[in-house]
């Protein structure tokens, strides 16, 4: 089995952790748009975010996971620890944050009484469900690689001069992964279509993202192990930039012009199709640019590291804070852009204060909210490394 491409404490790991934190913190901006989707400029933020943010996040998480697992002497112990580190914050969120959000949105949990409130939706915590499901996939791929030398076979194929240096290899990786994502999303949506009107329809709607983003996560895992695959993937920024501009043009033409002229029923169907294309194609293209940036990044400033360390706490807690802020500002005749800025500030500052005053000081809180085990040295983003 080939050693991971990234050095244990190198700047590349820090750079990837930085970008993963950026993608996570961008969720604060996304949720601050809530209720302001019809305002000029702000309406484009959800489209842009949904097109690439969480898909790229999953690819980077898979890469860092593949790197971390390769350094563990016992893969099974790693799987157990990771399941606890992801599962505990997920459980705490499902029992506290999600029911609270449900009540704020007028969708109370099935069993509001403590200690077992059950919310109808995972809301923003669906990504933890996905990471929890991907952990056994990582373990299975790791074990399969040890037995079948999958990474070695990939490296041998891409070691051929004509193939390994070809720009078409990168293009094939980009579109192959995108096709796998789109196919899995479409199949999952078809399978769950009959349940979309159930009380748990919103939670089930996220399952298509979990299945669709699995190829991105697994590609990231392989990138951590195969030097030649990583080299082929990041060899040029040309194809990813062309892809992102092409999808941006498609979005602008449809959502900004043609879509408004189509009857509502057909427009909803085409809206969904165009968004699925974006969510399938953009994450892997954006990830190439992110990887190239991380490789070139010499170091991450200390202040940025502190914000990265708090990014998981901020993401877990920001949504109910933003919703509460929106409720307070509801009857105030302020400029919508001012309300938008206040929502971002409140969601970020209050959650960061909780991280500094509680998570960093009390190991129990760090375990419950961040999944940080007592014997774990403080990492940048504890549960997703």
pLDDT 10s digits, 59-101 = 999 999 998 888 887 899 999 999 999 999 999 999 899 989 9
Q: Are 109 and 102 in contact (CB under 8 A)?
A: yes
Please name which of 86, 71, 188 lies closest in space to residue 135, comparing C-alpha atoms: 86
Tell me the mean pLDDT in the region 337-346.
95
Residue 112 pLDDT more than 70?
Answer: no
Residue 8 pLDDT more than 50?
Answer: no
N-to-C CA span, the chain: 20
Alpha carbons 161 and 375: distance in angstroms, whole number: 46
pLDDT 10s digits, 315-334 = 999 999 999 999 999 888 88
In this prediction the pTM is: 0.90
Query: In the prediction, which pLDDT does 376 show?
Result: 53
Residue 305 pLDDT more than 60?
Answer: yes
Q: Are 78 and 72 in contact (CB under 8 A)?
A: yes
Query: In the prediction, which pLDDT does 156 show?
Result: 86
Q: Are 207 and 192 in contact (CB under 8 A)?
A: yes
Tell me the mean pLDDT in the region 160-186.
84
Query: Secondary structure of 363-377 in the HEC alphabet?
Result: HHHHHHHHCCCCCCC
Task: Map out the domains of the chain as residue ranges.
Answer: 11-378
Q: How many CB atoms lie within 10 A of CB 76?
A: 10
Q: Exposure of 382 by Cβ count < 10 A (0-12 exposed, 13-18 middle, 19+ buried)?
A: buried
pLDDT 10s digits, 212-243 = 999 999 999 999 999 889 989 998 999 999 99
Q: How many CB atoms lie within 10 A of CB 100?
A: 19
Alpha carbons 232 and 369: distance in angstroms, whole number: 38
Tell me the mean pLDDT in the region 188-215.
89
Helix (H, G, I), strand (E, B) or coil at 72: coil
Residue 251 pLDDT more than 50?
Answer: yes
Sign of dihedral through CA atoms 209, 211, 212, 215? positive
Structure confidence at residue 203 as a pLDDT band (50, 70, 90):
confident
Q: Are 277 and 51 in contact (CB under 8 A)?
A: no
């Amino acid at each position: 089995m080939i050693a991971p491409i990234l050095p244990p404490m190198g700047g590349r790991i820090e750079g990837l952790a930085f970008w993963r934190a950026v993608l996570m913190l961008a969720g604060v901006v996304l949720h601050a748009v809530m209720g302001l989707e019809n305002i000029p400029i702000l309406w484009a933020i959800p489209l842009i975010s949904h097109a690439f943010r969480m898909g790229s996040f999953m690819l980077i998480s898979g890469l860092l996971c593949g790197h971390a697992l390769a350094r563990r002497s016992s893969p099974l112990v790693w799987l157990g620890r990771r399941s606890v580190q992801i599962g505990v914050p997920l459980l705490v969120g499902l029992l506290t944050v999600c029911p609270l959000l449900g009540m704020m949105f007028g969708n109370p949990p099935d069993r509001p009484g403590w200690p077992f409130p059950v919310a109808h939706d995972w809301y923003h915590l669906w990504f933890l469900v996905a990471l929890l499901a991907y952990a056994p996939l990582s373990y299975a791929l790791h074990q399969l690689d040890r037995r079948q030398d999958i990474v070695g076979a990939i490296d041998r194929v891409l070691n051929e001069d004509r193939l390994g240096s070809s720009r078409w290899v990168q293009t094939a990786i980009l579109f192959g992964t995108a096709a796998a994502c789109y196919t899995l999303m479409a199949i999952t949506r078809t399978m769950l279509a009959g349940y979309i009107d159930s009380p748990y329809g919103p939670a089930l709607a996220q399952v298509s993202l979990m299945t669709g983003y699995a190829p991105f996560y697994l590609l990231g895992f392989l990138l951590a192990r195969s030097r030649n695959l990583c080299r082929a993937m990041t060899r040029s920024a040309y194809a990813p930039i062309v892809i992102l501009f092409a999808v941006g043009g498609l979005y602008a033409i449809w959502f900004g012009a043609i879509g408004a002229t189509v009857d509502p029923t057909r427009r909803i169907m085409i809206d969904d199709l165009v968004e699925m294309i974006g969510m399938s194609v953009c994450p892997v293209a954006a990830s190439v640019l992110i990887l190239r940036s991380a490789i070139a990044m010499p170091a991450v400033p200390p202040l940025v590291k502190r914000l990265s360390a708090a990014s998981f706490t901020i993401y877990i807690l920001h949504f109910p804070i933003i919703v509460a802020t929106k409720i307070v500002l509801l009857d105030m005749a302020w400029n919508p852009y001012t309300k938008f800025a206040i929502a971002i500030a409140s969601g970020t500052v209050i959650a960061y204060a909780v991280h500094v005053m509680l998570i960093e000081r009390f190991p129990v809180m760090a375990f419950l909210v961040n999944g940080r085990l007592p014997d774990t040295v403080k990492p940048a983003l504890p549960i997703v490394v």
